[in-house]
Structure 1
Amino acid sequence: MTRDWMPIKTTPLTLGLPLLVILLVLQATSLPQRLDYWLYDTQITSSPAPLEDNVVIVAIDEKSLDHLGRWPWSRDTHARLIEKLDKAGAETIVFDILFPEPSTGDPSLAAAMNQHGEVILPLYLSPPAHNHLISEQLPTSSLATAASALGHAHVELDEDGVARGLYLLNGLGDTLWPSLALAASNRHSGIAATNENNAPPAFMNVRKHYRTVPMAGGAGTLTTYSYTEVLEAPPSPALFEGKTVFVGATASGFGDILPTPFSGLNRPMPGVEFHANSYSALISDELIRPLPQEASLAIAVAVIALLSLLLPRMRPARTLGLCLGIVVALIITYTTLLHSAELWLPISHALLMPFLAFPLSSALRLAMTNRFLNRQLDDLARGPQVNLPEPSRCHPTQLLEHFQALLQPEGWWLSEGGEVYTSCRLTSDDIPSLEQGRWVHANNQSWIGLRRSGRDYTLGLLLPNDISMEAIQRYLRRLSLASEETGLSPMQPRENVSARIERVRLATERMNNMQQFIRRSFERMPDGIIVTDELGVIRFANGHIEEWFQEPMPSLSGLPLTRLLEGHDPRETPPWHETVSETLTLNQSRTVDLRIQEKDFLIHFAPFSLPESHQNGIIANISDISELREQQRQHREAIDFISHDVRSPLVSQLALIEQLKRNPGHIEPAQLEQLGRLARRSYHLAEEFVQLARAEQLTETRFYECEFLAIVENARDSVSEQAAEKGIQLVLQGTEDLWLRGNAELLERAVINLLTNAVQYSPSNSTVNIQVFLAGHQAWLTVSDEGSGIAPDEIPHLFDRYRRQKSSELSGIRGTGLGLSFVNVVVEKHRGEISVSSEIGEGSAFTIKLPVTNPIGHS
């Protein structure tokens, strides 16, 4: 009875819900953000932004500090720098230096700033002291008034501590200051600098318009001049004319330093260079605007929906291609937006979904497959097995019962310790010294010691003392009856996977054993087997088909059955294609005669259908009935023989007896002699007929050791009186004992037949030579006479039954046609050979070759 079961299927719901849960879990971690930062840094560093050629830096470096002394410098010094840059034609001067406190040099610096007209100063937002609110750190009022614009110098550090961008506007409350780069570009007029609606409190830090900066490279990429060199050298219009000059600190340990995607923490970038990069990107419209987090989540949800709809419908081999295709499409979209539209779309959530969907989908399919395999394994475990119970597991009482039914012993013995369970014609005195699980044979007794469940048993059999005893003892020696109890249970795999693999291995081994058993059974069947598909094309054939049809096995597979049959036994009524097609179309069995290689066969066509399938085909069973047909022919010949040869003398006897009954007083000796002759002929015919039947039923179970020379001598003695009546000498040549395994009675009768024929067909006062000798591994017997010989055309049919020689009939020697046929059958049953050589007018010689039992001992 089958069980209903619901497989775990990969559906949009079963795949989409887990992916949404994973998306929510990822949102609470920093993994997606770090992945987004890595993707951004990879893109930015692999394709640096173009650098505007009107941006330079005047750096407060180590050399400047050595020449101008320790910091802070006099503001008169900065005034002189502005004057030099003004004379050199600098368009805009941006200071990344805070001037929050008044100084004696402020008037000269303010005057220089007013004279140039495009000097921008920084401000900073920070609490003045610990536990104080954040406030604006502006330049002194005189400097602020002289500056063309003020810009905040804040650079935003991301959560991983790397500076990638800044806010274009930053301030407290409703007042927002542009960044230094935005102030220098004169583009801040188009960006709202105040919060007119819903103004926040004055102490609240407000930031707007975050942009990432695609830098031109790492620290030192921008054109940089030393502060002291510019100050001490004459004005250089070739270097500064029409350019925006950023002035700030680059010396180590002095000023702000920022890790960037190009440098990380190994080689940070000075803040003034970062602002210069920001300005370069701003005026070339290269600043990148990050898209909101909602867009990233929306794309991730869209990817989840796409994966949930497509993956369950695809074959497992293509799911990886789909996931990789989505990943590539996301990366291409990300790169295009970043470099062409200056939009940063975080795709980490969406990018992780295909990498998670593939194993999740595979896991769901694996769970479904695993459950299916477990069910199939359970079904296989309950399925048929070819393993047979081991005899070593049988109890001794069961073994004795089976032996009694199988071997029919003349006696038996079974005991456990000193307790006798059952015995017949065997006693304790007969028990020899035994070894557990090993048979001991003494004459016709066989004994074995067995151990079962900690107990020792003694089992004995008294076998029939005949030729079957040796075969039975060999059979007993092959039986494995020793107990295999070890007391240890097999180790079970602890891992679930290992246990399942072991189950699969056992199931596969069981199926392979079953397949091998079926294949070997087909091969060892006495009939030929052909299996076709629903088109009548051969898909399987056993070895008999290859042998009988003389077709190699590779050519049989894929060959139409009708073509095979028509090629070896063409026929018109009914044609083979009609028989095969009717078997398939009408689904009915057919049985037809078949003739192949001069042999008779019977082919039975049986239709079949595969279980749980619409496919069908034919199983053709081909049986070799040549021997049966030969037996039928012999039976007809025997009937003809009985009806003619045996009936004829009996009819003559009855007629003669009726004649004698009519005149009982005048019985002549010639009549009695004729009646005796007819009776002897009838007896002789019956005797030869019976002897031939005995020879045909002879099997090796009736063979025993016999000496061939003694057999020939007995046959000679039996024919010696008949030979003496014709004055024929029987000369036997042979002195060596030749032992062979056979039936001495039938062998002697066969030799008598040869000698009788030789005497009958030899002239009077001639010689019949009998030679017995060993040649190779065979015992040879040659009987040669001096008769008239045999015609060449009669020699091929000499051993056919009921066949008589024409020359013999003409000469008046009447035979039955069974004598030589009997000899041929006896020789074949002994696996020997018989041959004849004859010359007309010179006599004939019959030779028999029989295998000896121990050829090595005779050599």
Structure 2
Amino acid sequence: MTRDRLPTTSAFWTLGLSLLSILLLLQLTAIPQRINFWLYDAMVTSHPGSAPGNVVIVAIDDASLDWLGRWPWPRSTHAELVRKLDDAGARTIIFDVLFPEPSTDDQELADAMAAHGNVVLPIHLSAPSQDQTISEYLPSPALSEAAAGLGHAHVELDADGLARGLYLYNGLGRQLWPSLAKAAYDTGRGQPSPPRNPGGGKPPPYVNVRADYVAVPLAGPAGTFAMYSYADVLLAPPSPQEFNGKTVFVGATAPGFGDVLPTPFSSMARPLSGVEFHANSFAALVNQTLIRPTSGLLAGILALAVIVLVASALPRMRPTQTLLLCSALAVSLLAFFAVMMMLMHRWIPIANALLVPVIAFPLWSARRLAMTNRFLNRQLDELGQGPQLTLRDISERHPPLFLDHLTALFMLDGWLLTENGEVIERHNLPSGYIPPRLPLNEWVHKDNLSWFRTDREDTVYIIGLKRPETLGGEAIQRYLRQLPLASGLAQDNDAGASTENITARIERVRQATERMNNLQKFILQSFEHMPDGIIVTDELGVIQFANGHIEEWFKEPLPSLTGLPLTRLLQGHDPRDNPPWQETVSETLTLAQSRTVDLRIHGKDFLIHLAPFKSSDTRHQGIIANISDITELREQQRQHREAIDFISHDVRSPLVSQLALIEHLKRNPSDIQSSQLEQLGRLARRSYQLAEEFVQLARAEQLTETRFYECEFLSIVENARDSVIEQAANKDIKLLLQGYEDLWLRGNAELLERVVINLLTNAVQYSEPGSTITIQVYQAGYQACLTVSDEGVGIAQEEIPHLFDRYRRQKSSEVSGNRGAGLGLSFVSVVVEKHRGHIEVESTLGEGSSFTIKLPIAAPIPN
């Protein structure tokens, strides 16, 4: 048992019975029911149903009463409305208007209803007086016979007085009438629903029987459905564009009728008329989105399951874990409630289950707080568990974990771990290689093996590593030697065991404060070591902090930056008027929106990202500006554009010429001359040469040191000479190689050979016949050097600085007819740079040129 866990022997029954008792007491109140209603209302109002465009309402509103006179209107008026809607093409007409008493013009209305064929009328169940039994009030016989369907118009009000649903069937004991929306839905499908038998032993005929309660997901507050004034529809010509093929509900919306219902959207502030509620019910039926409540049994089982889970888990968990568990349970229950309602259209009352974790957390926390002898330790634990970015001491790691971290970090050829002389982990490293008398907590390196021994109480651990026999392995050796292991790896005992004396508690407070100070230092040091420049301003855009990169890039001392408005700093180094820096910085603060802007400082390209921030107490705000050096990226974009230009011009040009020549030969196949074939060959060779140079340059740019290996430089030069010797012989040029010493270096032999071939090819190309090209291979300090000297035409001094620019040709080369793509020397420069070397050029017009390459020699890292 740790200090954060309480005894669990009786905790399950104590906590479980307590929760069950409180839950049973809450059933005597309206709290669970109100929570269920609130959850339903929140879900329905945040995800309202849809209002189909083919459902409209003809409203008996105040304007209609003013125009047509006091209610009730003659039924001939309603007959005229039915005829107007029939002429307009209305599919189904539903009256939410009662016609219980016979009238002299009933037959006119009945004839209009029969002519239309799909008119649904309401029935009403109520007692004529307080002392009498309930009765059914159907439309007059003539209207009942003409109606395509009858449905009850009753909407249920829940315990809190809001209308959320209705019963699909309602009536007296002898028969159950469908709801008005249900009758309209069935009639519209051509399947009128007759009254349903109550079943289950008929109740007396004076008993109100209801069945199939459903909740209606309202599409919105009053006015959501398309609504037309009764008088406007009656007095205007038929409007097929508004009613053709639509379901029309006719009912009262005027406040004087009293047919208003408070709903979850606005309660009584803006109640919903009864006809709009029935229109919502019909829309839900059409969309198959009516929500059916589940039985209370399922809700009870769910609450008991949560009680069992909480009572079992909380006594075994720490305070933070109990909060996470209770929060996760609450979120899971809410998610389950939302999924069931939105996807399955089931309303599961989860209030009781939801109250369990809500009550359990404070109840269990109160029991913990009652143990006063552990209260301070718990507070200190929470302080100690705050954000910590200080790096953990390597000496605190357990030896197996230490080895696991080493193997995850380095590419090792093998490793070994022993415990008291017994091998517990091994890979490609036998235990017989362990050196005798290893010192404690110190690395011992021998050849490509590294050994380490540490004591853990009565246990001795030995770790062995087999490093790769490369420069990377030697770098691993040097890195291991720098690891701070003097204090030895940490012991397994619980250094944080609880103590009750005040001195120990004060020490823990001091340690927690020290950790917070270390966190602040770590953040400041992290800002300094970030690869980007960082500027932090206050709410007025005045610089409060800047790291070293800002000082270096802007060439401004840090003390002068603090207190300087950011806009002045940016305007002073990169002035601009559209948009001005003041607008960019001020909008970042006032609109609280991030901005990303290009920046040009001292000939280099940067990207500045301005992000607003607010402190947790919202009293302070400002800007964090992150400045990134994108000079290299811009250069890559420039190279990309040059490559596109190169492909579109230099590569296409010989190909177009080839195609033109081939078409000419196809038209005159009998008149093919050798000069034409030679020209075609020259064009093909030029196309191949351009493509080869382009591919080689791309390979060079993608070269990394992972593709380096030990290679001998003199052999590389000899192979390159042999590749060019035939080309030189064709011009009677002599290649003289001077160098007899093997020079080993780490690099890519294939690309280095191509570098030498490019230099020799250029020398042959620009040398006069009968001349000599001298190739010297030698060592200068820690560098392997190659010098290629020719006796050719030379290079103008103004062209030497641009000699290695890609796609750039020398003027003298173009004049002399030696045309290239301008990629050969660029390839040479890239490969030499990738090998951490450099190239030098000396040339005199008319006397020749000399190219010298210097590359670092592979040398072992000293122990």
**Residue among 617, 632, 652 paired with 2:622:** 617
Q: 1:308-356: CA deviations, max 9, x gaps?
A: xxxxxxxxxxxxxxxxxxxxxxxxxxxxxxxxxxxxxxxxxxxxxxxxx
Matches within 5 A, 1:399-798: 399-407=402-410, 409=412, 412-416=415-419, 421-429=424-432, 433=436, 435=438, 437-438=441-442, 448-449=452-453, 451-452=455-456, 454-460=458-464, 468-479=472-483, 482-485=488-491, 502-503=507-508, 505-659=510-664, 669-775=674-780, 778-798=783-803
- Answer yes or no: is the 8 Å Cα contact 1:467–1:702 preserved in 2: no
Corresponding position of 1:18: none
> What secondary structure does 2:794 align onto?
coil
Shift of 1:599: 1.0
Corresponding position of 1:382: 385
Q: 1:670-693: CA deviations, max 9, x gaps?
A: 444444433332332222222222
Unaligned runs of 5+ in 2: 1-375
Q: Which amino acid letter does the alignment assign opposite residue 805 of structure 1?
A: Q
| Distance change in 2, residues 1:736/1:404 (3 Å) | closer
Shift of 1:405: 4.0
Number of residue-to-residue matches in the alignment:
484
Q: Which amino acid letter does the alignment assign opposite residue 769 of structure 1?
A: T
Query: What TM-score, normalized by structure 1, do the two folds share?
Result: 0.50
CA–CA distance in structure 2, aligned partners of residues 662 and 467 of structure 1 = 64
- Answer yes or no: is the 8 Å Cα contact 1:434–1:440 preserved in 2: no
CA–CA distance in structure 1, aligned partners of residues 451 and 670 of structure 2 = 75
**Bigger radius of gyration:** 1
Higher deviation after alignment, 448-457 or 535-544: 448-457
- Answer yes or no: is the 8 Å Cα contact 2:755–2:828 preserved in 1: yes
Q: 1:532-553: CA deviations, max 9, x gaps?
A: 1111111110111111111111
| Distance change in 2, residues 1:451/1:689 (3 Å) | farther
Shift of 1:744: 3.5
2:815 pairs with 1:806: no
Q: Which amino acid letter does the alignment assign opposite residue 469 of structure 1?
A: G
Shift of 1:525: 1.0
- Answer yes or no: is the 8 Å Cα contact 2:574–2:601 preserved in 1: yes
Q: Which amino acid letter does the alignment assign opposite residue 679 of structure 1?
A: A
CA–CA distance in structure 2, aligned partners of residues 580 and 667 of structure 1 = 72
- Answer yes or no: is the 8 Å Cα contact 2:394–2:489 preserved in 1: no
Q: 1:355-413: CA deviations, max 9, x gaps?
A: xxxxxxxxxxxxxxxxxx99997765332223334444444544454445444555555
CA–CA distance in structure 2, aligned partners of residues 421 and 577 of structure 1 = 66
| Distance change in 2, residues 1:784/1:493 (3 Å) | same
Q: Which amino acid letter does the alignment assign opposite residue 732 of structure 1?
A: L
- Answer yes or no: is the 8 Å Cα contact 2:471–2:861 preserved in 1: no
What's the C-alpha RMSD, in Å, of the aligned pairs?
A: 3.8
CA–CA distance in structure 2, aligned partners of residues 701 and 709 of structure 1 = 22
The alignment-based identity, stated in percent, is 70
CA–CA distance in structure 1, aligned partners of residues 719 and 404 of structure 2 = 47
Corresponding position of 1:837: 842
Shift of 1:813: 0.5
> What secondary structure does 2:797 align onto?
coil
Shift of 1:831: 2.9
> What secondary structure does 2:793 align onto?
coil
CA–CA distance in structure 2, aligned partners of residues 626 and 804 of structure 1 = 25
CA–CA distance in structure 1, aligned partners of residues 572 and 449 of structure 2 = 59
| Distance change in 2, residues 1:739/1:573 (3 Å) | same
Query: What TM-score, normalized by structure 2, do the two folds share?
Result: 0.50
| Distance change in 2, residues 1:679/1:820 (3 Å) | same
- Answer yes or no: is the 8 Å Cα contact 1:711–1:748 preserved in 2: yes
Shift of 1:806: 2.0
Shift of 1:817: 0.6
Shift of 1:558: 1.0
CA–CA distance in structure 2, aligned partners of residues 421 and 493 of structure 1 = 36
Unaligned runs of 5+ in 1: 1-372
CA–CA distance in structure 2, aligned partners of residues 441 and 494 of structure 1 = 47
Corresponding position of 1:93: none
Q: Which amino acid letter does the alignment assign opposite residue 541 of structure 2?
A: G
> What secondary structure does 1:793 align onto?
helix
Q: Which amino acid letter does the alignment assign opposite residue 810 of structure 1?
A: V
Q: Which amino acid letter does the alignment assign opposite residue 588 of structure 1?
A: Q
Q: Which amino acid letter does the alignment assign opposite residue 827 of structure 2?
A: F
Shift of 1:794: 2.1
Corresponding position of 1:204: none
Q: 1:533-582: CA deviations, max 9, x gaps?
A: 11111111011111111111111111111111111100110000111111
- Answer yes or no: is the 8 Å Cα contact 1:395–1:452 preserved in 2: no
Shift of 1:836: 2.2
> What secondary structure does 2:819 align onto?
coil
**Residue among 818, 829, 836 paired with 1:824:** 829
- Answer yes or no: is the 8 Å Cα contact 1:540–1:557 preserved in 2: yes
Q: Which amino acid letter does the alignment assign opposite residue 458 of structure 2?
A: G
